[in-house]
Amino acid sequence: KKCLKMSEVKTENEAPLPQRVQNQGNPGNQAMKPSPKEGGDNQMGGPQQMGGGGPMGGKKPQRGNFQQGKNMRGGNWGFGGGGGGPRNQMNRQNRGNQQRNEGPMKFSTPRQNEPNRGDGEDRGQGPQQRGQFQRPKNEDFAIQQRLKHLMGPMHDIPPLDQTEIKFCGRNRLYIGNLTNDIKEEELQQMFAPYGEIGEVFLNPEKNFAFIKVDYHANAERAKRELDGTMRKGKQMRIRFAPNGTILRIKNIAPFVSNELLYKSFEVFGQVERAVVIVDDRGKPSGEGIVEYSRKASAMTAMRFCSERCYFLTSSLRPVVLEMMEHVDDIDGYPEKSINKKMNDFGQARQMGPRFAEPGSFEHEYGTRWKQLYEMFKQKQDGLKRELQIEEEKLEAQMEYARYEHETEMLREQLRMREQDRDRQKKNWEMKKDHHEEMRSREEVQMRQHQEDIQMRMMRQDDELRKRQQENTLFMQAQQLSSLLDQQERKNFDDRRGNFNNQGGPDMNQMNPMNLRSPG
């Protein structure tokens, strides 16, 4: 059995590449053939994997290849072709390889190591692309964060840098009527004398190409000198390519400048040019042009401004966005662009410019044509006047509604202030009652304290008064006692003197102490 399996593997690997792909049942590997720019080393079926999609697919598969294809799931962005080996074929014939190759096939680009997260053209998506590129879910949050920096007053905006941007969308040229054997190197050599060359897109099957030059003047010079030149028997047609990144902004407020328009739409992506259109007197016409560097940014701005109302100033006039129609007002319609082989051309050019004679057949129908355009102009002017009247009416209603809204907001604020005032008044009254109660308590306590002090002072005064009275009585008693003693001494002295003169009695008998206390 092992020998039979090895012989089958050898037979499959020796078969031609389309037959091998068909036998392996992997529709993804057919699209993953290595191109001249993409060698097998960059593919998952390269020398390391040895699968059916690489240059070494004819060798014996190794055991680690299935595990590698299982873990890698088709490789990084832009890689493909893996998982086509015989061992993977036996295990995941109908589901594994197809799922692993679907993702890388859809995002494979000539620059595999530089995946571009831009729009579909930059990503190189072909017929197998997933569809319209979807922005990440956090895009709304990022735009809202950028708008927060612009919601304040915008009185002084610095002027814009008027330096021309290299490789902008206006410098992209369309080259038509080419031969299918042309190469990118030949195109680059053809346009090299006219400045630096940016990206080049070539479609040899439909015989056209797009090329981007560094500056607009160089692009105009290249277009002027190379348009109509012969190359291998074919006359090249060169014109400016339609730019899908230009938006026409309508309903712009009167006080929107170029700088404010640039700042307002820069939140959606990188802006190359932003201009407010003015009339011959320099008065704003209410319209403008915004050019983005990427189409995805323009589509984001269209989506946001279509789904929501985007105001640029305090005026409640939302801007209206439209894709700018490409109008060639430089080259026009030259004689060489007319197909002179048509029958209508010969019939139309039989007669040249002339004036019709009054009353003639030509004059009658010429007058009808002029009346038709005059009627169209009158209706158009009437519609413009009606639009202007409706705009003025809406402006007046808007101002009145704004006044009513602001008045209602002020009333609501007044009600809120009154409620706050009542609540604060209640709080103040509660605090006042609390303070009065505390003060009354403090007064009662203070009064009691004062009464206690007064009682204590009165007791001290009474005690002091009693002591003073006692002291006074004691002093009076001492004084009285001293007076009595003096009086007695005086009386004693007088008596002794009298007795001495008369030869009086014994001195002991005349002692005052004996005389005071008889017995």
Domain annotation for the chain: domains and CATH numbers: 2-115 (no CATH), 159-241 (3.30.70.330), 244-338 (3.30.70.330)
Of 38-52, 272-286, 304-318, the least confident:
38-52
Output 7 or 410, whichever has higher pLDDT.
Answer: 410
Q: What is the pTM of this model?
A: 0.51
pLDDT of 144 higher than 50: yes
Q: How far apart are CA 54 and CA 415, in angstroms?
A: 79
Q: How far apart are CA 167 and CA 155, in angstroms?
A: 33
Find the angle CA(112)-CA(80)-CA(14) to the nearest 5 degrees.
130
For 305-320, give the DSSP string.
Answer: HHHS---SSSS----E
pLDDT of 90 higher than 80: no
For 58-88, give the DSSP string.
Answer: TSPPPHHHHHHHHHHTT-STT----S-SHHH
The confidence band for 74, taking pLDDT boundaries of 50, 70 and 90, is very low
Return the structure tokens found at 163: 């330096």
pLDDT (average), residues 443-461: 91
pLDDT (average), residues 302-318: 90
pLDDT (average), residues 480-497: 85
State whether residue 232 is helix, strand or coil. coil
pLDDT of 423 higher than 50: yes
pLDDT of 116 higher than 80: no
pLDDT of 216 higher than 60: yes
pLDDT of 411 higher than 90: yes
